[in-house]
Amino acid sequence: MNRRQLLSERLRPRVIGNGADSGVGMLLVVGTMSVVMTLVLLAGAITDRALKGAQSEDAFTTALTAAETGVNSALSRVQGAYDLDGSDYQTPHPSTTSFDATPDCVSSVVAFPASAAASAAAESAWAKAQLKILTTKAGCLRKNAGAEYVFLKPAGRQVVYSMGAAPGFGVQGARVRTVKAEFLFAPYKPDNAILTGGDLELSSSTTVTSATSGAAAQASVHSNGNITVGGGNPTVTGAVTMSGSGSLPNSNNFAAGTTRSAQLSLPSISARTVYARQVSNYLGAWFDLCPDGKVRSGAATGPCTGAILGDYGPSGALAGGTFRNGWAFSSGTPPTWQMTGGFLDGVYYVSQGNVALGNGVGNPSVSRATVITSSVGMGCNKSGGNIDWNRIDIGAPYVNNLFLLADQDLRTGSNFKAGSASGSTVISGLFVAGDQVEMQTSSAGVYGAVIATDECDPSSTLVDSNIIKNPTVYFDPNGYSPFTDVVNTTLWLELVG
């Protein structure tokens, strides 16, 4: 073969087929496919493991959320029973209670055994065993998004336990977590100068500041709804926060601006509860203004059960007269007790009625007074329990740290002041409405805090919305509430093991 033929042969393409190289090519193809398939399977396995891990982690978190929901639900019921009559809430419970007419978790009351307090491990084992029993009882088993939970409040102990499972108890692979919370009752302490459960309007020359020097930043305002500026340029030296989704209000005199925040807890407002807890502390100075026109002395047995001090009803011997120089009865449904002058010091509990200003009052003052009104009925079906206050100034509250409390609405007029401050001495109190508050107090202002829980807003009521217009509210950062104690958790932990 000459040189030209040899070069042509070397440059000729080789066809893989029946030639000697075809077997090697096939092995290369098969090998490559095997490697690719192995990588695909490996990637799938990794992805599947990652998904299962994520699902497991999600279930782990969901179970904890369910357990914490159980704790919060139990503590809410503990507070409700305490607010109603001071009783100890227990669950499970075999029969009706004052708080639960028809308990949902019906079983024998669980007593906390002495042996369970021997060690944390023993307590944990005992609590989990009790909770697992409750998972088998339909009324005790509750559902949360993607999970189930049960909770336990033993008799006579200030502790609750809750167990959550995701996706549910008895489900293969479910994640289960258990939470314990210990609590105690402490007086409710206002953290805001103004706090409302619903929308709030601040307007005109309203000023919110501190009653004590150096605490201006603590004089804050919060609404669990929206806050609006209705006109003027109100001043707030502390934070202005709201939980609603509306536009954030603006004022040149909001020292810290306006921000959105989570909802704040509101105290339970009940004139009847205040009566039960406070009347024994003020016997001789506590007066029940009753719906039949009679005035009775305060009594541990309840409103309008004490000795009759006078009958001002339509057929009473004192009809048309006044009690303690300033209270006159006006019949109606519900009835009204009118302020006709500067009445004598004391605690005035208007049972199932309203308080309003009479005619020709002038502008008198009372040295020490607390006025409380209770409604007829509860919730959004109530009537009465309103306070419409004006012109009569109050130097100091008679019940410690409480000026005015209305089961329903509270309204103050443009010519009214309450409390004072001199140096480091602050005389202050709370102004409280179970529903709405409207305050147009003069520039002399009020000392303490304003609370409206917005439980509901029945039609044709004294106040339709929360409005603070023109007053100066001097917040007392050291003030405590005398009318309710609230649950405070002292320990919150997960029981493991």
pLDDT digits (tens, 9 = 90+) for 182-209: 999 888 889 999 999 999 999 999 999 9
DSSP 64-127: HHHHHHHHHHHHHHHHHHHHHHS----BS-SS--SS-SS-SS-SPPPB--GGGGS-HHHHHHHH
Q: How far is CA 289 from the centre of its chain?
A: 31
Structural element, H or E, at residue 128: helix 120-134
Mean pLDDT computed over 290-305: 97
| pLDDT above 80: residue 3 | no
pLDDT given at position 379: 77
pLDDT given at position 48: 52
pLDDT digits over 18-36, tens only?
544 556 566 665 566 666 5
Residue length of the chain: 497
Q: How far is CA 249 from the centre of its chain?
A: 23
**Whether 371 contacts 310, CB under 8 Å:** no
pLDDT grade for 399, boundaries at 50, 70 and 90:
very high
Check residues 404 and 111 and name the one with the higher pLDDT: 404
pLDDT digits over 338-375, tens only?
999 999 999 999 999 999 999 878 889 999 999 999 99
pLDDT given at position 286: 98
Mean pLDDT computed over 299-305: 97
pLDDT grade for 40, boundaries at 50, 70 and 90:
low
pLDDT digits over 138-165, tens only?
899 999 888 999 999 998 899 999 999 9
pLDDT grade for 45, boundaries at 50, 70 and 90:
low
pLDDT given at position 50: 46
pLDDT given at position 31: 62
- Lowest mean pLDDT across 10-14, 21-25, 228-232, 240-244: 10-14
pLDDT digits over 327-338, tens only?
999 999 999 999
| pLDDT above 50: residue 11 | no
| pLDDT above 70: residue 7 | no
| pLDDT above 80: residue 15 | no
| pLDDT above 60: residue 14 | no
**Whether 333 contacts 356, CB under 8 Å:** no
Q: Left if phi > 0, otherwise alpha if psi is -120 to 50, otherwise beta: which for 318?
A: alpha
- Lowest mean pLDDT across 52-66, 441-455, 471-485: 52-66
In 351-435 the beta strands, taken as DSSP E runs, fall at 354-357, 365-373, 375-376, 383-384, 387-389, 393-396, 402-406, 410-412, 420-422, 425-427, 429-433
Give the strand pairing for 327-330 and 336-339: antiparallel
Distance CA 165, CA 148 (A): 5
Check residues 96 and 433 and name the one with the higher pLDDT: 433
pLDDT given at position 211: 96
Mean pLDDT computed over 44-68: 71
Mean pLDDT computed over 367-391: 93
In 128-174 the beta strands, taken as DSSP E runs, fall at 142-144, 147-152, 159-166
**Whether 341 contacts 322, CB under 8 Å:** yes
Amino acid making up residue 457: D
User: Using the 8-state DSSP alphabet, how is residue 247 labeled?
Assistant: P
